[in-house]
Structure 1
Amino acid sequence: MKHEIPSDYPGNPYPSGMGGAQPKFVARKIGDRFVVGLTEEERQERYAICLDLMQQLVPYGQRKREENPMWSTSQILRRIHDGVLSLETGLTHPEIVWLVSSVARKLDWPPEWI
């Protein structure tokens, strides 16, 4: 299923460059083409992982808020962030930050957790 990826979703999670006098870039050869960054299929796959996690994390955040009323929303979001980091999802840090910020928006929580 093809998703409409929002404009604030991180672009190339693996930016790279090489030093030297001449400008250079890092590319991969896929078939007969050189590709810089992710292909559209790879980007769709990574975004789908984020959507799946978001569907799980929104109710989790609500539940944690109810179970621990003394915790601030920032504390809950920080715990969610640390938990996703430990899952080894293959997501990069900018993608995880985007995911947790999106969870905060869905829960209508202030975004000041970072």
Structure 2
Amino acid sequence: MCPDEKVPADFPRELTHALLPGSNPKLAIRLIDGKYYAGLTEEELLERYKACNDLAQQLASYCTRKESENPSWTRDFNLARTRAGVARKVTAGLWDLSAAEQRWVMARVEHLLSW
């Protein structure tokens, strides 16, 4: 990881969900290079952030294009349509985004568009 690359504080940092058998409380952790991790490593988190940020930039361009192609669409309609499209891709298993990452991506799209 380069020192100048940082994951912003508002990017979701969720714990990994796991199903573990037994009746006693459990903590899902991973051993990576001699260190224990509950959730993503900094490198994994950075990769997820980069992918989500790239997607947000592509979706912002898409919304801009759709706005010019369909002048009768309101910005709210355009964003709602895009949000629904992202959700469909996730539900179909085509994109691997958590619900929190989906919200972050769409908030980033709105920020990039300054809408």
Where on the TM-score scale, by shorter chain, does this alignment land: which range?
Answer: 0.7 to 0.9
How many pairs align? 108
Cα displacement string for residues 4-61 of structure 1 (whole angstroms, at most 9, x for unaligned residues) = 211111012535698xx97642212223332101001110110110122122111111
Superposed, which structure 2 residues align to 1:17-96 within 5 Å?
A: 24-85=26-87, 86=89, 88-96=94-102
Q: Secondary structure at the match of 1:80?
A: helix
* Structure 1 segments unaligned to the other structure (5+ residues): 110-114
Given the two structures, how large is their TM-score scaled by the length of structure 1? 0.76
> Structure 1 residue 69: deviation in Å?
2.4
* Structure 2 segments unaligned to the other structure (5+ residues): none
Q: Secondary structure at the match of 2:51?
A: helix
Contact 2:67/2:73 (8 A) holds in 1: yes
Q: Give 2:108's aligned residue.
A: 102
| RMSD of equivalent CA atoms | 2.5
Distance 1:91 1:80 in 2: 15
